[in-house]
Structure 1
Amino acid sequence: MSSPCDPQHAPAGDVGAALMMVDSRLRAIYDDKPQTDAEQRALTDQFAASLGPGGVDDLVDGACTVIYMFMQWLRMAYEDHGKDVIEYVVPNLVASMRMMPKSIGAEAIPTMAGLLVAAGTGLSPSLWRKQYGYWTEGEMNPLEATAFLLAEHINRLTDDREFATRMIAEALSIADDG
């Protein structure tokens, strides 16, 4: 039985732009001379403003696609070791989000946890979220942080600072060729 939240019904969005934002955040934390939060936020705001009409929606859908792809990779990786992705990933990411009160309001954490569970069980994060209404401005930073935290988790698991973004970039390249 098909779910209305089946990924085949979801818009992919601007995965390239979402990946660029995740990669930018990863590089900022791995960099020896990281940008300040104000500099990073100004660049992000400038980038979002450049997207034009509908661009932000495409970016949000792209971020959800990236989250879905990361969770699917993590699900397969954890299952290879007899572990459940929900049990091992969601609590760690929720704990990380709770340590980021300036970027992630407590009210957004349950939504992001639900988004992770949806993606980890094979549902489209964007369609899962849309059944509860439109995205709010207060969910934009948490959504970005969720994608970033998943990428960082994957990079730590693989001991490769570029694995997560490279994996998505390669998938995009294959999709473009096909």
Structure 2
Amino acid sequence: MIIVLIGYMASGKTSIGKKLAKKLNYDFIDLDDLIEEKEDLSVTEVFKTKGEVYFRRQETHYLKEVLETKNNIILSVGGGTPCYSNNMQTILEADHVTSIYLKASIPTLAEKLMRKKAKRPLIAHIETKEAMTEFIGKHLFERVQFYNQAEIKIPIDGKSKDDIVEDIVLKLF
């Protein structure tokens, strides 16, 4: 089985994915890390030097490549991955794949992203929590229609990573 974790920036896809992989004895793959490894550039550098269209094409290519492996994998995808190139349909239609939306509220995301914004070019320029909340609200509104197609939805607000992993395991098995 392949478990694909989707959700907005800072929803915990990578950190929860690693914990879940350890608990289930699965391999963990972060799609952005895989792209960086294959392209020998950071995601930011790929965007700057080759453009978003190139990045999204590579993202779709590597997503399909991972989904075709059919091994025990936890796959964390970028926040935009389900929203482009029919990727959500690819995830939903793939054999042996379960999709999980790590669902966080806008205030939770704003709080987390204000602490991590320097590492995220898309939001690095945002100065206040109010501006961050407004940005996330607009951005999430565009993306939530894709996220909500996931087979399992796990609310994460106010929960520890261990509790979230337990919630996922209970829903899966």
* TM-score (ref. length: structure 1): 0.34
TM-score when scaled to structure 2?
A: 0.35
